[in-house]
């Protein structure tokens, strides 16, 4: 059983749809991340939240909108996506603070934009 849970596992959406990805961690961590993993490309960091505050937005298009209501939950709101946004979206958490160590990952959401 993972300490980081992502829902849904799979999502197919049209380019005009609005959907949200959810991530929940039960590890007491203070930092949460969204990564995008496309085929044949390196893992791309999208957003970082530390103690509920967004500390990094890695030049992500505005059609991706993160939300972190508390240290345990992280959302990624999606709207008017493009087919090239199809990818595996991974959520991760880590202790945060000045001595950040390893990140723990969820199982990912496989997103297909049609």
Segment (H or E) for 93: strand 87-94
Q: For residue 51, give the DSSP letter.
A: T
What is the rounded distance in angstroms from the CA atom of residue 67 to the CA atom of residue 101? 23
Are the CB atoms for 16 and 73 separated by under 8 Å? no
Specify the stretch interacting with another protein by CB under 8 A; choose among 15-23, 64-72, 76-84, 103-111. Answer: 103-111
Binding mask 41-70 for another protein (x = CB under 8 A): -xx-x--x-x-----x--------------
Interface residue list for another protein (CB under 8 A): 2, 31, 33, 42-43, 45, 48, 50, 56, 88, 90, 92, 94, 96-108, 110
């Amino acid at each position: 059983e993972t300490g980081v849970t992502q829902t849904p596992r799979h999502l197919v959406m049209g380019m005009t749809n609005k959907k949200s990805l959810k991530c929940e961690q039960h590890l007491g961590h203070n930092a949460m991340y969204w990564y995008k993993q496309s085929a044949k490309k390196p893992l791309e960091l999208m957003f970082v939240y530390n103690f509920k505050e967004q500390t990094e937005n890695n030049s992500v298009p505005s059609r991706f909108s993160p939300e972190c209501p508390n240290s345990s939950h992280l959302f990624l709101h999606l709207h008017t996506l493009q087919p090239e946004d199809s990818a595996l979206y991974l959520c991760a958490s880590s202790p945060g603070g000045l001595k950040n160590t390893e990140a723990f990952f969820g199982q990912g959401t496989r997103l297909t934009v049609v």
